Structure 1
């Protein structure tokens, strides 16, 4: 018989090109977690349903996360999360399903480096058109009003940023038996 533990919901936020998906995927592997990318869900809705997606991708993602958390699986959610109310909705999914949650904001404080990353990216999701630098600059992104782990990827390798993220997570996680 296994000891029952609460799953952990890792909720990633940040602008496109900041390094968010790179870190989220690595964390999913590290914690053997379900990986849930809002871009994949939203593009799936566009492709399969032929709709213009606004909040539907997030709403569907909440349900997929809830199913996995209810099963006791750790979950990594990878999404833009530009508004405080959206961040609170992700947290509520964790609370409703008996899970711990950790908010993680990924940013790149070096604007020139961030711009270079954006200009060199290719979409990993078939059919998804990535935003260009000007579109990213025009996006509305509200400052955080509650606690989170902030990871600034500027001037670091993915390995360095991931090491710092793991150290921060270790400091915040409830010890497990």
Structure 2
């Protein structure tokens, strides 16, 4: 199974995606880490779609090995979401899409302005950059509101949903 996470930076998606990966013993693929590794290599400062394309390849390899994969990225555009679904389809596995939101704007902003990057060299976007970011509306994913539940409650809810899939 491919579990596709998305949501604006600071919404809580990485925290929840990591916790779910631990709970399921799943492969965890994070686009931020891949993009920063490409930048650190000196090949390019502007990685464009390269990080996503590398992530699709890593996810596809692990899906064909029979592993559950959790994909963690902003997924701001319909095309990135469709590409993740294509990776799963090529591997012959189902997908579950999870959008993480933080409905409390003050809390979301606080998270953005106080968090420390856990990827060496990665510069996190500012609240203004996040507020102005292009982000296509999702249609049909499972939505987790991180403002209204703990990480553990979100994981419990996701596991119940996954077991029903």
Q: TM-score, normalised by structure 2?
A: 0.95
TM alignment of 1:95-114, pairs within 5 A:
95-114=89-108
TM alignment of 1:27-176, pairs within 5 A:
27-51=20-44, 52-145=46-139, 147-171=140-164, 173=165
Structure 1 ranges of 4+ moved more than 2 A: 160-171
- Give the distance between the partners of 2:51 and 2:94, measured in 1 at CA: 23
Displacement of 1:168 in angstroms is 2.6
Displacement of 1:123 in angstroms is 0.5
Structure 1, residues 113-136: CA drift from partner, whole Å, max 9, x if none?
Answer: 101111110001000000111111
- Give the distance between the partners of 2:158 and 2:114, measured in 1 at CA: 24
- Match of 1:49, SS state, is coil
- Give the distance between the partners of 2:163 and 2:142, measured in 1 at CA: 11
Size of the aligned set, in residue pairs, is 164
Gaps of 5+ in 1: 1-7
- Give the distance between the partners of 1:102 and 1:155, measured in 2 at CA: 21
Instruction: State which structure, 1 or 2, has the greater radius of gyration over its C-alpha atoms.
Output: 1
Displacement of 1:137 in angstroms is 0.3
**1:22 paired residue number:** 15
Gaps of 5+ in 2: none
**2:3 paired residue number:** 10
Displacement of 1:99 in angstroms is 1.2
Displacement of 1:166 in angstroms is 2.3
- Give the distance between the partners of 2:107 and 2:154, measured in 1 at CA: 15
